[in-house]
Amino acid sequence: MARAPGRIEFIGNHTDYNGGTVLGASIDRAVWVALARRADGLRRFRSDRSDEMVEQPAAHPRKLFGPASWVNYPLGVLAALPEFKLRAPAGFDYLAASDLPIGAGLSSSAAIELASGLVFLGAAGEDPPRDTLVTLCRHAENHFVGVPSGILDQGVSGFGLKDHLVFIDCRGPRFDTVPLPAGAHFWIFNTHTKHALVDGLYAERHRECMEAACLLGVKLLADVSPAELALVAQALAAADPAFAGGGGSPPAVVNTAGGTPALPQATLLKRARHVIEEIARVDAAVIALRAGDLTEVGRLLTASHRSSQLLFENSTPELDFLVDTLASQPHVFGARLTGGGFGGAVMALTDGTFGEAQAGVVAASYGKKFGILPDILHTRTANGAELK
């Protein structure tokens, strides 16, 4: 049996696949996976959230669709094992159970991948380094499930440590931990709005970031500083008044692969500005955390959300309302969307005085506006994925 925690994207929104830095927290909500070997080569999958038993032969994992598509996460891990020169178990009975809410931006997908990876490796007698397991699980999500995610989700679930945040320099990747000042609490407000990364919005922003990097003449947006980006924007504005808002449509970028117009340069630079300034916010947050300055950390969190809202445009009215409401509450240091965006959840960083009654006020205000109450989760940090 293995347990792998969900994660909070503390700060560093969409910076991971752009080669930047990110901070995350593994939390005290998790996915558990139990495995029992079978001698007949049959692989049977079951979840506590479905009545359906899914069976596949041990030959080649086959991607599934519909209600059984949750099995693609462990199947993707199985498919990735040989590519990392690791053995996979043949037949088994597999059971997954979770107290992580699905679609709330807490990365239940990475948690099930890490827990699955640990039991598969344990059953096959393999014990690779932790960074290999994390990279393998990301590979499974990118190439089998089909989500072009970065290393954040798997890295935080894999390297989490109680009372710490996980710092990832995604270029390496390099993993480290940063102590979380005493008295810091996380409150998650799940909006019940759609958060389906495979549906394309995440992939669309990923593509836009790659096009923005191409426009700026670099491989990844992490290669550009905020000052360098400002100089490029000034040069483009000077060359074309329409770009600076002087009327008409901003110039389009040519997609060299297909020769068809892609996004306007102004839109691409908005995406780039969010990512590049977000990387700077991550670095500033590390400094503030080490100094124990939660007030400054909270300011950076809220600034991160405003950038997601206005520049990266991966927020929603529901998420914005929660951030606005939380920002006006006492004992709240800051708040932002957590995860890929386009729905999901808001994270608030609070002190220990913020409690159920105050969270209920926020939820009631949300319910009055949107006609549904958000789920509320009060979470703390927890250790990362482990065999039990």
* Residues with a known catalytic role: 153
User: How far is it, in rounded angstroms, from Cα 316 to Cα 93?
Assistant: 40
Helix (H, G, I), strand (E, B) or coil at 156: helix
Helix (H, G, I), strand (E, B) or coil at 4: strand
DSSP-assigned letters across all residues of 282-345: HHHHHHHHHTT-HHHHHHHHHHHHHHIIIII----HHHHHHHHHHHTSTTEEEEEEESS-SSSE
User: How far is it, in rounded angstroms, from Cα 325 to Cα 335?
Assistant: 9
Neighbours of 21 (CB within 10 A): 23
User: How far is it, in rounded angstroms, from Cα 232 to Cα 220?
Assistant: 16
Task: Please classify residue 249 by burial: count the beta carbons closer than 10 Å to its beta carbon, then call 0-12 exposed, 13-18 middle and 19+ buried.
Answer: exposed
User: How far is it, in rounded angstroms, from Cα 365 to Cα 342?
Assistant: 21
Nearest alpha-carbon partner for 127 in 94, 90, 86: 86
The end-to-end CA distance of the chain, in Å, is 5
User: How far is it, in rounded angstroms, from Cα 216 to Cα 8?
Assistant: 31
SS3 content of the chain, % helix, strand, coil (to 5): 45, 25, 30
Contact predicate 12/284, CB 8 Å = no
Contact predicate 323/336, CB 8 Å = yes
Contact predicate 163/381, CB 8 Å = yes
Q: Which value, in Å, is the radius of gyration of the alpha carbons in the chain?
A: 21
